Amino acid sequence: MESENTFSNLGLTEATLKVLEKKGFEKPTPIQEKTIPIILNTDLNLIGQAQTGTGKTAAFGLPVIEKIDNGGNHVKVLILSPTRELAIQVSDEMNTFVGSRKLRVATLYGGASIGEQLRRLRKGVDIVVGTPGRLLDHIRRGSLMLGKLDFLILDEADEMLNMGFVEDIEEIMSKTPESKRTLLFSATMPEQIKRMVKKYIPEYEMIAVKNKTLTTDLTSQIYFEVRRTEKFDALSRIIDVERDFYGIVFCRTRLDVDEVNEKLLSRGYSADGLHGDISQSGREKIYARFKKKRINILVATDVAARGLDVQDLTHVINYSIPQDPEAYIHRIGRTGRAGKQGTAITFITPGEYRQFTQIQRIAKTKIEKQELPKVEELLGIKKDSILAELSIISEKEVGDNYLNLASSLLENSDPQIVIANLIKKAYNDELNENNYQELAKKRNINVDKAGTTRLFVGLGKKDDMTPPKLVKFIRENVKLRDSNIDKVQVFDEFSFVTVPFSEAEELLQIFKTKGKGRKPLIEKAQKTTGRSKPRDKSNDRYKDKYKDKSRSKSRDRRDKFKR
């Protein structure tokens, strides 16, 4: 059901509408449509459920900013977020919503200098976004006071519980006043959340937006892990299961375009290829054929696709990973326009994982991993489409010649057997499951297992580091299950730990920016590293900073690693 709601008739003020216009938000998403009036016009608590990418941040951020005033020097809104990355995203988004209002937003997460955070808090903030562990540190230190809190927001609640933050969250909740309102947002509602809601959140409104009605304007973004040699099979499988596939397959080079296009043509797909070596007039002919849907697959390089103005693609396939985040955004922007839902699919080979993580980070998008359609599913779809194809043929289309043959056949044979035999002859290749490799099985050698990185951590036994503390420390900075944190070794001066590639990249990034010229606390372990890694003096200074020059070193260490 298409809704006519606009941001202005949800009751948002002029100041907010201006911000939204600047941000390019044209109309509210379904979850926003429902939660904004409740938050604005009632005093109820709220539980909101909608899948990732449906604008949950604005669903609470916009009305909450309207509700609070900028008087008084106390924290009015506390937003709990599962990871540093998400906390930063939310706080960036909150900052844009604030616009010209005099509201100050602070972001507090583990791994960052607590000293700077303390200074920030002392200056006074209205809205705090943070990860549970670090927030609790501040609450315990007395640097974060919640006595006058208006809103407690648990964002991405399912993720927070997955990461084992239940107790932290409960403790934080216990430090907030009765009078505050609690808003909980989550993509899913596992039992654990329901229990928490029952226990801690009285009188709430529950808003759940079903997957189907969401993301009207948003492109759903997914990725598949494939090996280079599997890419083509993966592509044809996707096209096969999507009956009305109408999309662009992006390749990096002219050679890739030609190769993929030729393979598609030889398998009977209706495709064409587009790249810079094709003359202008040739390109225009291809654009026209594609726009008129004479062909439903266009294989193209980024540059060649630029001249193409189509609005209603069902799919964009990143056959080769885009060069940079801008290219990614540009490519996927071609689907899901004009209120239609489109799907952007990216193929990732293990070697491309690093680049992919960067794209996700910089483009600030969440791209969900999915499994390729199974052979069984594919065969089911093939059968359906054969039935459809055969049942619409009219007498005239077949022609007398065939009709006569058919009647003589049927004179002496069982019609079912005759038809079965014909289908077998005509479609044997297509329906023979041996012609499809089960890509899923092979894919299990995936980047998660193969793609790990050994990290050097500049804290050791001398710093009271232990393996459990190191695991905890890693988890304060990136989203990981314990089982993905491997081969922890703690030595006197330093430690080692192995984590999946993408999280390693995240950690390296986090600690790179913090050292400011000094040796980062976390680095890639060197292959040749023996036990005698020379002590780096500059790192000691960093460590001091990391410990916030606390008077009592040991107490500070305890704080840092205890939980």
451: which DSSP letter? Answer: -
State the nearest-atom distance from the C-beta of 335 to ligand ADP, in Å: 15
For the chain, first and last CA: distance in Å?
Answer: 48
The correct pick among 34, 56, 134, 181 for binding Mg ion (CB under 5 A) is 56
Q: How far is CA 165 from CA 80, 197, 447, 470, in A?
A: 10, 15, 27, 17
Sole window of 49-57, 295-303, 446-454, 476-484 interacting with ligand ADP (rule: CB under 6 A): 49-57
Are the beta carbons of 453 and 498 closer than 8 angstroms?
yes
Q: Quick check: 56 binds ligand ADP (CB under 6 A)?
A: yes
- Buried/exposed code over 148-167 (b: 16+ C-beta within 10 A; e: otherwise): ebbbbbbbbbbbbbbbebbe
Sole window of 47-55, 285-293, 343-351, 551-559 interacting with ligand ADP (rule: CB under 6 A): 47-55
Look at the alpha carbons of 465, 469, 471, 476 in this order and tell me if their dihedral is positive or negative: negative
Nearer to ligand ADP by C-beta: 248 or 363? Answer: 363
The correct pick among 55, 63, 342, 458 for binding ligand ADP (CB under 6 A) is 55
Sole window of 54-62, 115-123, 204-212, 553-561 interacting with ligand ADP (rule: CB under 6 A): 54-62
Are the beta carbons of 35 and 48 closer than 8 angstroms?
yes
**Can you tell me the distance from the alpha carbon of 74 to that of 146, in angstroms, rounded to the nearest whole number?**
8
469: which DSSP letter? Answer: H
- Buried/exposed code over 106-138 (b: 16+ C-beta within 10 A; e: otherwise): bbbbbbbebeebbebbeeebbbbbbbbbbbbbb
**For residue 186, which phi and psi values (nearest 5 degrees)?**
-160, 150
Q: Quick check: 84 binds Mg ion (CB under 5 A)?
A: no
Binding partner of residue 131 among ligand ADP, Mg ion, none, CB under 5 to 8 Å per kind?
none
Q: Quick check: 25 binds ligand ADP (CB under 6 A)?
A: yes
**Can you tell me the distance from the alpha carbon of 454 to that of 4, in angstroms, rounded to the nearest whole number?**
53
Nearer to ligand ADP by C-beta: 216 or 466? Answer: 216
Q: Quick check: 58 binds ligand ADP (CB under 6 A)?
A: yes
For residue 263, the tally of other CB atoms under 10 A from its CB is 16
State the nearest-atom distance from the C-beta of 246 to ligand ADP, in Å: 23
Site size toward Mg ion (CB under 5 A) is 1
Q: Quick check: 231 binds ligand ADP (CB under 6 A)?
A: no
Q: Quick check: 28 binds ligand ADP (CB under 6 A)?
A: yes
The correct pick among 54, 176, 215, 502 for binding ligand ADP (CB under 6 A) is 54
**Can you tell me the distance from the alpha carbon of 393 to that of 388, in angstroms, rounded to the nearest whole number?**
9
Nearer to Mg ion by C-beta: 150 or 159? Answer: 159
Binding partner of residue 28 among ligand ADP, Mg ion, none, CB under 5 to 8 Å per kind?
ligand ADP
**Can you tell me the distance from the alpha carbon of 184 to that of 98, in angstroms, rounded to the nearest whole number?**
21
Nearer to ligand ADP by C-beta: 29 or 301? Answer: 29
Sole window of 25-33, 288-296, 402-410, 522-530 interacting with ligand ADP (rule: CB under 6 A): 25-33
Q: Quick check: 57 binds ligand ADP (CB under 6 A)?
A: yes
Q: Quick check: 63 binds ligand ADP (CB under 6 A)?
A: no
Binding residues for Mg ion, rule: CB under 5 A, are: 56
Binding residues for ligand ADP, rule: CB under 6 A, are: 25, 28-29, 32, 50, 52-58
